[in-house]
């Protein structure tokens, strides 16, 4: 079952891609600031468990996640209508997830891409911002 993303009036919708401890924490902080947040989890079974318990039991057990944060494993649902996409996936998956975003019919290449993933790409030694630029072809200043 997909989660319904409820946009908070007047606030931009942000997608946080990566539901580990860092991604979940960023989603909580942004939700607390009044943004409409979708949190994307790669694995459907983990996303389902997250929605059912409103808790990231794998990475942040005991921390309640409000229903205002939509948790989904559907990349289209996560990024639809976003003004900003925040990458918080492990560095070895950034390129793959960027390709998924680029292939999505919901991708708006005018949105700001925010990199919160750490590290370098293993084979190329590229910074994550370089990987995102090469995959998403954003205009200058749209990847931060």
pLDDT in the model for residue 8: 54
CA-CA distance, 140 to 143, in Å (whole number)?
7
Residue 23 CA: distances (Å) to CA of 15, 89, 113, 123, 134: 10, 8, 15, 24, 23
> For the whole model, what pTM was predicted?
0.92
Q: What does the buried/exposed string (b/e) look like for 66-100 if buried means 16 or more CB atoms within 10 Å of the residue's CB?
A: eeebbbbbbbebbbbebebbbbbbebeebbebbeb
- All residue ranges of the chain with pLDDT < 50 are 1-3
pLDDT in the model for residue 139: 80
pLDDT in the model for residue 9: 59
């Amino acid at each position: 079952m997909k989660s319904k993303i409820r946009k908070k009036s007047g606030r931009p919708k942000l997608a946080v891609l990566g539901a580990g401890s860092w991604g979940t924490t960023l989603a909580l902080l942004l939700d607390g600031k009044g943004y409409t947040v979708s949190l994307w989890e790669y694995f459907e079974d983990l996303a389902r468990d997250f929605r059912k318990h409103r808790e990231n039991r794998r990475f942040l057990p005991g921390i309640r996640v409000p229903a205002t944060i939509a948790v989904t494993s559907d990349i289209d649902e996560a990024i639809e209508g976003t003004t900003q996409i925040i990458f918080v996936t492990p560095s070895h998956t950034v390129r793959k997830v960027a390709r998924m975003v680029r292939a999505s019919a919901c991708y708006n290449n005018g949105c700001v891409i925010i990199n919160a993933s750490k590290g370098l790409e293993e084979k190329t030694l590229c910074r994550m911002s370089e990987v995102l630029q090469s995959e998403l072809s954003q205009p200058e200043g749209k990847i931060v």
